[in-house]
Amino acid sequence: MRQDAPQPPDKNESTGRMNRILRTASFWALLVLIPVAILQFMEAGRAERQKLTYTEFWDQLLNENIESIEVRQGTGEIEGRLKIALSREEGEIDQFHVLLPAHELGEELEARLRAENVKIETLPAGNNWITIFIQMLPWILIIGLWLFVFRQMQAGGSRAFSFGKSKARLLTGDTPDVTFADVAGCDEAKDELQEIIEFLKDPQKFSRLGGRLPKGALVVGPPGTGKTLLARAVAGEAGRPFFSMSGSDFVEMFVGVGASRVRDLFEQGKAHAPCIIFIDEIDAVGRHRGAGLGGGHDEREQTLNQLLVEMDGFESNEGVILLAATNRPDVLDPALLRPGRFDRQIVVDNPDIAGREGIFRVHTQDIPLSEDVDLAVLAKGTPGLSGADIENVVNEAALIAARGGKDRVYMVEFEKAKDKVMLGTERRSMVISEEERKVTAYHEAGHAVIALRVPGLDPLHKVTIIPHGRALGITASLPEEDRHNYTKQWLEGQLNMLFGGRVAEEMIFGNSKITTGAGNDIERVTDLARRMVTQFGMSPAIGAMSVGDREHEVFLGRDISQRREVSEKTAEMVDAEIKRILDESYEHTRQVLEENVDLLERIAEALLERETLDVEAITLLNEGRELPPPPAEEQAPPPPEPTSAESLETRESPLEGTGGEPAPAPA
C-alpha cells in the first residue's frame, strides 16, 4: 500500500506561522529595548559630569576652584562647574556632581560657599519620577513577561488557557493530496469507507428507508498495512471537513485536560457537521478500563469516559462520524467497540498476491522501469510483506540503481532490494575464520537438505553463508502461494528444518564441536512445539484443549495477579508432550540427513566455493548435476584472515531454516 509522501506545507499556514514568529520577536525586542533606551537617555545628561567624593568637593571649595553649583531640593545632590579643570586618568573634567551626607546644605557649607562667592541655584525635586521608574523597572519587566506568557496560553472564547483546547488539525478537502486511487491491496476496506463518504454527501439516499448515519468506523490491522493512508484518502475523497488527531494528543500532565480536549474536539465537529473526526492510534486513550493502578481517577480513563459519552451519550452528535485506527484492537475497552459507537470494524490485513502487485504498481508509477521488470513475479516473491515493506523494497531498488549510475530500475535491483528487506543487509566486511565458514556452510546445508527432502515444505529460495544482519548464514524459503492456515504436516516439517542445522553440525563435527549458531533455531522450535500442544490441539495426550497463558491480561490490568488455569499434572503432561515432539523431530531430522549425506556434502562444498546458491544452483545440486562455472565477477573472494579470535557464542541466525517465514498464528 502506498505510504504517505511528505507534503509541502500550506502557503497560508506558513505565512501565519511567520507572522506569529515576527510578532513574538517584536514583543521581546520592545520589552528589552525600551528600558535600555530610557536608561541610556537618563545617563546621557550625566555623561559629561564626573562624580566627586564629598572630600574632593571640599578640597576644591577650599582651593577656590568652584565656580557655581546647583542643589537639587530634597535629594542632597549637587551638580556644579569648576573654574579650572581637573586632570584624571579618564581625562579632564570641568563639571561634576556630588552627594551630600544630608539632604540639605549645612550652615558651615553654605557659609563657606558664600564666602567664596560661589553662585548657588536650587532646583525643584521634579525629576523624582525617574528614580521611581528605576526602582520599579524590575517589576515592570516581570509583569511584561507574565503578560507575554498569558497571551501565549490564552485561547479563544471565554477560556483562560488553551490546555483544554483540541489539537486537531482541520482539513477542508478542497485540495486532496491522497485519494482512493493511491491506495491498493485493500479493496474491501475502500468499499466500506466509500459508503461512509456517500452517507456524508447524500444522507437522504439512505435515511429515506429508515437507515441512520454510522457513528464511527474502526480501522484495524498490523503495522504498515496503510490504515492512516486510508484515512487520508477518506479526507481527500469526502470533500467535507476532516479533523485529524493522534490518541496521544489528548493526555497531558494536567488533570482533566484529556476530557476537555475531547469535548472541544466534538464541539468543533458539531460546528462543522457533517464532518469526519479521525483519531490515529486510538489505543493510546481507549485501553481497557482498570488497566492502571489509579482506579477510576486515572487520567486516561477519564478521557476515555468522556470519549464514550461524546460518541453515544445523552446528547446526539448527528453528522459527526468518528474514524479511528489501531493495530491493537485486543486492548480496547468493550464499551468503545459496541455498535452505536463504532458501528463498523474494518480489517486491513497484509495484502495477498493480487494486492501486493497493485501496491507495486502504485509505488512504481513515478519510477522508470526496465522492460525486464515483472511486478507479478515480485508480488509472488514477497509473501507476508506489508504495504510499508513493499514501498521500502521499491525505494531500495531505486537507490541501488541510482548508486550504480543507471537511468532506470532493472529486475536485478528489485531482487537485491527484496533480499535486503526480507533477509537483512549483507555484511561482507565481517571477518570470519575458515573454521567458522565451514561450520556455517554445513549448518545451512542441513537446513537446505531438509527443505528438499521433507515433503510439504516451501521451496527453497536462497542459501547463503554471507552474514546478513545478525545471522552468519541464511536458508530462505518462499511459499508458492499465500498461506492462511498451517497443516500439521507443514508444522512438523518446520520442526525438522529448524533442527537441520544443529543435526548437521553434530553429524559432521561431532557432539563436542556443536556451536551456539542453533540457539535461535532451538528457541523457535520449542515455541512452535509448545503452541502445537497448548493452542493447536495437535497432541493426542492433551487433546483439543487450550492451555495458554494469561500474561496479556496482566498487561490489560484485569488481573494484577495471575490465576492458575491448569493443574500441576496437566502442566507436566504438556511438558512431556513438548519433549516428545521435539525428540521425535530431532531423530527424524537425523535420519533424513544420514540418508542424504552426499547431498549435504555437495551443498556445503558449493557454499564454501560460491557463498550463495540460488534456486537454479540448488536444483542442479539436488539432481546430482555439476554447477556451471560462475562468472568472474560472481566468484567468491577468498575469506580474509581474521585479525583476532572471535567467539562462536556471538553467532546468531534469526532467519535460519525458515527464510523469514513467520511462525504460524493461532487459528
| β-bridge pairing 169-171 and 242-246 | antiparallel
Pairing status of strand 77-88 against strand 91-99: antiparallel
* Of 444, 492, 611, 656, catalytic: 444
Residue by residue, DSSP assigns 379-448 as: HHT-TT--HHHHHHHHHHHHHHHHHTT-SSB-HHHHHHHHHHHHH--B-TT----HHHHHHHHHHHHHHH
d(CA 232, CA 3): 10
| 3-class state of residue 120 by DSSP | strand
Helix orientation angle between 488-509 and 597-610, rounded to the nearest 10 degrees? 80
301 closest CA partner among 255, 356, 246: 255
DSSP element (H, E) containing 301: helix 299-311
| HEC string for 56-109 | HHHHHHHCCCEEEEEEECCCCEEEEEEEEEEEECCEEEEEEEEECCCCCCCHHH
Would you report the helix, strand and coil content of the chain in percent, each value rounded to 5? Answer: 50, 15, 40
Residue type (1 letter), 443: H
How many CB atoms are closer than 10 A to CB 131? 12
Residue 405 Ramachandran class (φ > 0 left, ψ -120 to 50 alpha, else beta): left
Residues near 14 by beta carbon (within 8 Å), at least 6 away in sequence: none
Sequence-ordered list of residues with C-beta below 8 angstroms from that of 392, at least 6 positions apart, any chain: 421
**The length of the chain, given as a count of residues:** 667
576: enclosing H helix or E strand: helix 568-595
What is the rounded CA–CA span in Å between residue 96 and residue 86?
10
Give the H or E element holding residue 300: helix 299-311
Told to judge if 90 belongs to the known catalytic residues of this protein, a careful annotator would answer: no
Give dist(CA 624, CA 337) in Å, integer: 59
Using CA atoms, how far residue 337 sits from 78, 292, 323, in Å, is 85, 20, 12
Cell numbers of 409, please? Answer: 530500475
Q: Whose CA is closest to 381, among 615, 619, 634, 663?
A: 615
- Residue 297 has phi, psi (to 5 degrees) of -95, 5
Task: Please count the other Cβ atoms lying within 10 Å of the Cβ belonging to residue 194.
Answer: 15
Measure the CA–CA gap between 426 and 182, rounded to whole angstroms.
Answer: 33
Q: Are 68 and 121 in contact (CB under 8 A)?
A: yes
Number of H helices, E strands in the chain: 21, 14
End-to-end CA distance of the chain: 26
Supply the residues annotated as catalytic.
Answer: 444
